[in-house]
Amino acid sequence: MENNNNENIENMVKAVFEEERNSDAILPPPYMKTRILARFREKKQKTGGVLMLWKQIALSGAALAIVIVFGLRFFADDFIRANLNTPLAVKVEIGELKKANVAYAEIVLPDGVVFYSKKFPELNKESSLVLDWEVAVRNGHLPFIIEGIGEGNKVIVLKFYDLSNRLIAEKTLKVSFDKKRS
Amino acid sequence: MDWKYNFKEIITSAQKGDEQAFSLIIENTQKKFFRFCTYLCFDVHLAQDICQDVYIKAIESLKEFESEAKLYSWLFKVAKNHYIDYSRNKDNQEFIDLDNLSAEECQQDSIEMKIEIKEILQKIAPDFRMALILVDGEGHSYQEAAEIIGISEDALRSRLHKARKYFIAKSKK
C-alpha cells in the first residue's frame, strides 16, 4: 500500500515536470548562445588558440628521460643536463604563486626546443604556449613537456600574468641539451 | 554535422577549439541545461550567468564524453557547484524543513491556482531541489543523480521521497 502510494506520488511529480517541459515554458534567451560564443572568441584570442589542447597533453606514455620538479624560488642558475631528442617532463611547483591571482602562464621556448605531445604533435610548431592557470595547474604543479632538438644551452622562460594581463612573475629554466651518451 | 551521429567527433573538434563544433554543443544542449539551471536557481538571470560560465568552462574541460548523457551530467554537476559557490555568499535563505515536515505543510493548498514549479522549488533546500530536478525533471537514474549532487544513493532516495511529498502537495492546479 505504501509502495503504491509512493509510486503514485512519483508519477504525479514526473507528470508535473513533463507538462512544463512539453510546454516549453522555460527557454534560454535567444542571445545566450551569441554571448557565449563571443566570450569563446575573446578567450581564444587572448590565449592564442592552443589553450584547449593543453588538458589533453599526456605525461604518461612518452619516453621521458627526466622529470624535473622545480620550485619557483629555486630555479637553478646552473644548467641542468638533458638528452637531445628525448622528451623532458617539467613540473613547476607553484607554491608561492598560489595566492598571487595568476590568470594564465606563458611558456616561451628558445630556438632548438619544442613542446612535446604524443597526442598533438602539431604543438611542436609553437614557440610559446599560454595556459589558463585553473586548467593547467595540477596538484600544485604546472606540468609541461619539452624536447631539445638543437644542441647547447637553452633558456626557457615562464611568465605569469593576472587577469589584467599584468606580468606578476617571470622565471627561467636553463637546460643544456647534449647528444645521448652511449 | 549531425548531433546524434557525430557526437564524439563534435566533442573532439570542440576540444581542439573548433568554434562551429562548440556552437553545435550549445545549440543542442542549451534548452535542457538552461531549464535545469532555472529550476536550480529559480532566478532566470542567475541561471543565464551560470549557463554561460559553465559553457565557457566546458571549453577547457571537455573530456571525451561517451554520450550526450555523460555530457549533461558534467554540465549539471559544474552548474551545481557554481550555484553552491554563489549561494554561500548570499544571506542565509530559509527553506522548508523537509526532514521535519508537519502534516499541515503537506496538505494541499486550498487556493485554486496553478503554482509554478519554480515557486515550489525555491522553498526547498538545494539538495532536495536537485534530487527532484535531476530524477523527476530530467530523468536521471538515482545513481547518476546521487553522483551529480555528491551524496549517497540512499540519501538521494530519502530526500527525493520527502521532496516529492511536499512538491505534489503544493503543485495543485
- B106, pLDDT greater than 60: no
Instruction: Write down the residue that cell numbers 637553452 correspond to.
Output: A154
> Which residues in chain B are contacts of A20 at CB distance < 8 A?
117
Question: Which CATH number is B28's domain given?
Answer: 1.10.1740.10
Which ranges in chain A are annotated with CATH 2.60.40.1860?
50-178
**End-to-end CA distance of chain A, in Å?**
80
Does residue B124 sit in the same domain as residue B163?
yes
Render pLDDT for A108-166 as a digit per residue (tens, 0 to 9). 899 999 988 776 777 777 788 877 776 677 667 788 888 899 999 999 988 888 766 77
Q: Which of B66, B88, B110 is at the close of a domain? A: B88
Q: Is the ipTM beyond the 0.95 threshold?
A: no
Does residue B103 lie within any of the structural domains? Answer: yes
Bridge partners for A82 per DSSP: A177
What are the C-alpha distances in Å from B107 to residues A8, A11, A100, B94, B167?
16, 18, 54, 20, 10
Query: pTM of whole model > 0.90?
Result: no
Separation CA A172–CA B18 (nearest Å): 33
A41 touches chain B (CB under 8 A): yes
Question: Is the same domain home to B62 and B21?
Answer: yes
Residue B126 lies in a domain: yes
Interface residue of A10, A16, A133 to substitute, partner B, most B CBs within 10 Å:
A16
Pull the grid cell for residue A58.
Answer: 599526456
- CATH number for the domain whose boundaries are A50-178: 2.60.40.1860
| B3-48 residue pLDDT tens | 888 898 898 888 777 889 999 999 999 999 999 999 998 888 899 9
Query: For A51-85, how does the pLDDT look when each residue is reduced to its tens digit (9 = 90+)?
Result: 444 444 434 334 444 455 555 444 556 678 888 88
Which contiguous run of DSSP H or E holds residue A142? Answer: strand A141-148
User: Which residues face A29 on adjacent strands?
Assistant: none
Residues 6+ apart with CB under 8 A from B34: A26, A27, A28, A32, B47, B48, B51
Would you tell me how many other CB atoms lie within 10 Å of the CB of residue B56?
17
3-state secondary structure B36-94: HHHHHHCCHHHHHHHHHHHHHHHHHHCCCCCCHHHHHHHHHHHHHHHHHHHHHCCCCCC
| Grid cell listed for A50 | 592552443
Shared domain check, B69 and B18: yes
Q: Which of B88, B111, B131 is the last residue of a domain?
A: B88
CATH number reported for the structural domain that contains residue B103 in this entry: 1.10.10.10
Q: Is residue B155 part of a domain?
A: yes
Residue B17: inside a domain, yes or no? Answer: yes
Both B81 and B122 in one domain: the answer is no
- The residues with which A50 forms a beta bridge, in sequence order, are none
Q: To the nearest whole angstrom, how far is the Cα of A132 from the nearest Cα of chain B?
A: 9
For residues A150 and A113, the answer to whether their CB atoms sit within 8 Å is yes
B153 and B135 within one domain: yes
- If one counts the domains in chain B, the total is 2
Q: Where are the alpha helices (DSSP H) in chain A?
A: 2-22, 32-47, 133-136
Show which of residues 85-124 on chain A sit within 8 Å of chain B, judged by CB atoms: none
Residue of higher predicted confidence among B143 and A163: B143
A32 with B19: Cβ contact below 8 A: no
Residues B74 and B102 both lie in one domain: no
Boundary (domain end) residue, out of B88, B122, B151 = B88
Considering only the beta carbons, identify the residue of B31, B56, B137 that sits closest to A40.
Answer: B56
| Chain A environment of B52 (Cβ under 8 Å) | 32, 35-36, 39
Residues of A in contact with B137 (CB under 8 A): 17, 21
- Can you tell me the distance from the alpha carbon of B57 to that of B41, in angstroms, rounded to the nearest whole number? 19
CA distance A8 to chain B (A): 10
Question: Does B107 share its domain with B83?
Answer: no
Cell of A142: 604546472
B93 within a domain of the structure (yes/no):
no
What tens digit of pLDDT does each residue of B112-134 get? 445 577 788 888 888 899 999 99
**B27: containing domain:** 7-88
Same domain assignment for residues B84 and B50 = yes
CA nearest to B15 within chain A: A52
B17–chain A Cβ distance below 8 A for any pair: yes
In a domain, B1, yes or no: no
State how far residue B82 is from chain A, nearest Cα, in angstroms. 15
Is A1 in the B-facing interface, judged by CB distances under 8 Å?
A: no
Residue matched to cell numbers 535567444: A30
| Element (DSSP H or E) covering residue A71 | strand A66-71
**Which residue type is seen at A129?**
L
Co-location of B157 and B115 in the same domain: yes
